[in-house]
Amino acid sequence: MTKSAREFTDAQGRKRWRGDMDVEIAVDMLEMAEHADHLLLFSGDGDFRVLVEAVQRKGARVTVVSTVKSQPPMASDDLRRQADNFIDLSDLADMIGRPSRSSHLPRFIQEGRTGGDRDADPYAED
C-alpha cells in the first residue's frame, strides 16, 4: 500500500512531510481478522491497543513487533500487554539485519572482475 506524504509547515516555519498510515492499517487489520487466525502488527504505537483488542474479539491472535530495548523504548506497555505475543526487533537483528555488502554479490564482482564475457555464468567456479 502506498500513500502520498503531505507537506506542512511546522511552528518554526520549517517545511515538513507527514504520511501517517494509521487508519489504513486499522481498516486492513479489521478486514483481515475475519479471514486470518493470526495477524502481525509492526508498530509500538499505543493508539493501536484498541485495534488489537477489536481484532482479538473477532477471533484472531495478534503479535506486535517493535522494540522496548531502545532508548527511549518504542513500544507502548499497554499495546504489549494487549497483544497475544510480543517480539522485540532487537531479538531478530541477526535474522533480519543487513548482510555485509559483498556477501550477496556474485564472486566476479567481489573480486573486481567486471569485464569480459557478459554471458558467462558469474557464479561458475574457475
User: What gap in Å lies between CA 108 and CA 111, rounded to an integer?
Assistant: 5
| Cell numbers found for residue 118 | 557478459
User: What domains are there in the chain, each with its CATH number?
Assistant: 20-110 (3.40.50.1010)
Tens-digit pLDDT string for the chain (126 aa)? 666 777 888 888 888 877 677 899 999 999 999 999 999 999 999 999 999 999 999 999 999 999 999 888 899 999 999 999 999 998 888 777 776 655 555 555 445 554 444 445 444 444
Rounded to two decimals, what is the model's pTM? 0.66
Single-letter amino acid, residue 114: T
| Cell numbers found for residue 114 | 567486471
